Structure 1
Amino acid sequence: MRYLVDTGFELREHEDLDIFLRAAPTRAVLELLASKWTMLVLVALGDGRPMRFNELRRRLEGVTQKMLTQTLRALERDGLLTRTVYPTVPPRVEYRLTALGGGLGKLLTAVTDWSREHVAEMRAARAAFEERAAHQPQGVGTAP
């Protein structure tokens, strides 16, 4: 079966360009970015200042040590941040965004700015939705 868009472009020959295909490498990038901890780490490091592990952990309320460690390793593996170990006792470790991570951090900062700007509207929409749902009759097979 051939997958064609209107232009006749065969997607199977260019899987990496179509995020909707399971095997597309771009899909793996989006999966990494979809993690709330990934987004928050990138925004926290977005000002260019290096941060130590415990600084990040305090900044990201609710993150576990295990989840932060996994997130930092994934970001380092994919070239979005660097991990620098200083030969002190105890060792001092700092995390900083790479140029690649900095570019992405700017995009995510724009998303957080948008979130701040529109959170009241979204809360009002949610309250209105819940109000409507509370007054609608519950039919067979509908969720409460």
Structure 2
Amino acid sequence: MPKRYHCPVELAIDVIGGVWRPVILAHLKEGVHRHGEPQRLRELEADGLVARADLGTVPPHVEYRLTEEGETLAPVLQALYDWGRGRAARTGTPVAVPR
């Protein structure tokens, strides 16, 4: 029997919850990446949000990208990014600029 949620926000937080999941997804929203967080990425892959591609090179290289389902999170991730950027500006909190 699937888990039952009391509201859609509970479901969303269950899927993208945790400290690093939204951060990794936000980076992947910008495009394909090679990432050094294999366990966290495997969890996102298991949830159907991230796809892994082994490039078959030596040394081995793996790329990660958002799946079609992961892409549906783009507006949510952008809203979190925008809010965080505004909060940083309002409070004088330094935030590293993405490359």
Instruction: Please give the range of the TM-score, normalised by the shorter of the 2 chains.
Output: 0.7 to 0.9
* Alignment-mate amino acid for residue 6 of structure 2: D
- Structure 2 gaps of 5+ residues are 93-99
Aligned to 1:108: 77
Aligned to 2:54: 85
Considering fraction of residues, name the structure with more helix: 1
Is residue 40 from structure 1 mapped to residue 23 from structure 2 by the alignment? yes
Q: Alpha carbon RMSD of aligned pairs, Å?
A: 2.5
Matched ranges for 1:47-126 at <5 A: 47=30, 49-54=31-36, 68-121=37-90, 123=91
TM-score (norm 1): 0.53
CA deviations on 1:92-138 (whole Å, 9 max, x unpaired) are 210000111111133112111111113344x38xxxxxxxxxxxxxx
- Structure 1 gaps of 5+ residues are 1-14, 20-25, 55-67, 125-144
Structure showing greater Rg: 1
- Which stretches of structure 1, 4 residues or more, deviate above 2 A after TM superposition? 26-29, 118-121
* Alignment-mate amino acid for residue 31 of structure 1: D
State the identity as a percent.
35
Aligned to 1:11: none
Is residue 16 from structure 1 mapped to residue 10 from structure 2 by the alignment? no
Q: State the structure with bigger RCO (CA 8 A, min sep 6), 1 or 2.
A: 2
TM-score (norm 2): 0.73
